[in-house]
Amino acid sequence: MKDLLLENLAFTLNGRLWIESTNDRFLGIGRLELLEKIDAYGSISKAAQAMGMSYKKAWDLVSSMNAQVRTPLVMTQAGGKKGGGAALTVEGKQVVEMFRGMQARFQQFMEQEADLLKA
């Protein structure tokens, strides 16, 4: 065994991955899930509710993301049928797909490293 010290102790490996600009965070696992739920529900408020997050927080996150790219990731409409709604733009969907892949590879990396701990 390589690691006598940590074996038998209930340790788990965890981590986070995110894309940031000089000032703000751009995209992490939380924002990714929010985008996915917006895509699923067609609404920021429903997405927020599904995540147990306040509408304001969700809106702030969307606003932050949209402000950091040339083409918004989420387009919104206030008023209209059903009161309004939100949807991912093509660019938004691209970003979701890209980061979902990155996240999957990261998960794989962590599992690999966790195995190494107990090897």
Partner DNA sequence: TTTCGTTATGTATGAAAAAATATAACGTGT
Partner DNA sequence: ACACGTTATATTTTTTCATACATAACGAAA
Q: Which residues bind a second copy (CB under 8 A)?
A: 2-3, 5-6, 9-22, 26, 68-71, 91, 94-95, 98, 102, 105-106, 109-110, 113, 116-117
| Shortest Å, Cβ 16 to DNA | 12
> Who contacts 52 (Cβ-Cβ below 8 Å, separation ≥6)?
none
**Residue 31 burial (CB count, 10 A):** 22
How far from 48 is each of 20, 59, 69, 80, CA to CA, in Å?
Answer: 22, 9, 22, 20
| Closer to a second copy by Cβ: residue 7 or 60 | 7
CA torsion angle 60 72 106 41 (round to 10): 70
| Closer to DNA by Cβ: residue 77 or 94 | 77
| Shortest Å, Cβ 18 to a second copy | 6
| Closer to a second copy by Cβ: residue 9 or 78 | 9
